[in-house]
Amino acid sequence: MTTTFDLDAWINDRRAKVNVALGEALPPREGSDPGRLRESMHYAVMLGGKRMRPLLTVAACEAAGGTWEQALPAACAIEMIHAYSLVHDDLPAMDNDSVRRGKPTVHVEFGHDKAILCGDALLTIAFETLAKGHGRGGRIVEAVVRMAHYAGIDGMVGGQAMDLEVGQNVRELEMLEAVHAKKTGALYAASGAMGALCAGANDDVVGRLDRWGMQFGIAFQHADDILDDDQVALRAQAVARVDVLVSSCIELVASMGPGAEPLRAIARWVHERTHAAAAGEKRE
C-alpha cells in the first residue's frame, strides 16, 4: 500500500522540536540582564517564523540516514544566524524596518545599540550551540566551518552587501540570482550540508544536499519576491527558473530513498508557492 507523505504533520512535529531546543539553547532569562540583552535574544528568535532553515537541516539529516535529534544543534545554530541577520538588516542603516511578523523590530523595542549587541550575541552563541553538538556524532567540526563560510563574506553577509548596492531594480536574472544565492541561498546550502554532516554522511551526500539547499534557497527567494511585489521586471523569468530549480532539487535526492521524502515534499511546496504567488494568491 502506498501512503502519501504528510508534509504539514512532519513540519508541525519537527518545528515544535526545534522551538523547544531553541528555547533551551538561548541564555536563561533569569538573573542579571544588563540592557535587557537576554530578553532581546529571546524576542528575536522566539518571535515566530516558518523555521525553514532548521527544518531543512533536520530534513537533510534524516535524508542522509541520521535522526532529528542529531540535527538539533545545527538546526538551532542556523536559526540563530538567521535571526541575528534579521535584527541587523532591520536597522535604519540597512533596511530600516520597524515591524517584523506583526511586532516591533528589535531596535524599535530595545533600542539601536541593544539591537546591534543582540545580533552579535546571537551570532556567537550560534557557534557555541553547534560546537556543543559534537556529542551526538557526525562531522561537527566540518559543520562549523561550513556554517562560517556560508554566513560570512562569501555567503549571507556578502549577499546583503550586494543587495544594498543593486537595490530593487535589477534588470538581469543572472545578477538577481547572484544576490539570491549569497543572501538567501547560502544559509539554505549550509542547512543542507550541515544536516548531512550531522548524520556523518560521505562527501558525495554532503555535496548533493549542499546543492539542494542552494537551489531551494534561490527558488524560495524568487517566491518571496513575487509575494512582496519585488523585482517585477524579472517575474516571468523567475517563475520559469523556479521550475528548473525545483526539478533539480528533486533529481538530487531521487536515489536517497524514503528518508528524503520531506525534502521532496518541501521542493514541491516551494514550486506551488511560487505559482500561487504569480497567480495572485497569497500562500505562506
Mean pLDDT, the chain, integer: 95
Q: What is the DSSP letter of 231?
A: S
User: What pLDDT was estimated at residue 3?
Assistant: 63
Beta-carbon contacts of residue 152 (< 8 Å; ≥ 6 apart): 158
Q: Regarding predicted confidence, which is higher, 214 or 279?
A: 214
Contact (CB, 8 A) for 71 and 57? yes
Q: List phi, psi (to 5°) of 138.
A: 90, -175
Model confidence pLDDT, tens digit, residues 130-171: 999 988 889 999 999 999 999 999 999 999 999 999 877 788
Q: Tell me the domains of the chain and their CATH numbers.
A: 7-278 (1.10.600.10)
Q: Which residue has the cell 562531522?
A: 139
pLDDT category at 1 given cuts 50, 70, 90 is very low
Beta-carbon contacts of residue 30 (< 8 Å; ≥ 6 apart): none
pLDDT category at 280 given cuts 50, 70, 90 is confident
Model confidence pLDDT, tens digit, residues 212-241: 999 999 999 999 999 988 888 899 999 999
> Angle of helix 203-227 relative to helix 235-252, nearest 10 degrees?
150
Q: Regarding predicted confidence, which is higher, 49 or 209?
A: 209
Contact (CB, 8 A) for 78 and 194? yes
| Whole-number percent of the chain with pLDDT over 70 | 98
User: What pLDDT was estimated at residue 85?
Assistant: 97
Q: Please give the C-alpha separations between residue 3 and each of 34, 65, 145, 251, 258, in angstroms, as whole numbers.
A: 53, 20, 39, 21, 11
Given phi > 0 = left and psi -120 to 50 = alpha, else beta, which region is 112?
alpha
pLDDT over 70 (residue 284): no
User: What pLDDT was estimated at residue 283?
Assistant: 62
Rounded Cα gap, residues 128 and 214, in angstroms: 24
- The closest alpha carbon to 94, from 102, 106, 109, 103, belongs to 106
Q: Regarding predicted confidence, which is higher, 281 or 106?
A: 106
Beta-carbon contacts of residue 75 (< 8 Å; ≥ 6 apart): 18, 21, 53, 54, 55, 57, 58, 191, 195
| Whole-number percent of the chain with pLDDT over 90 | 87
Please give the grid coordinates belonging to residue 16. Answer: 515544535
Model confidence pLDDT, tens digit, residues 4-48: 899 999 999 999 999 999 999 999 988 899 999 999 999 999 988
How large is the average pLDDT for residues 88-114? 95
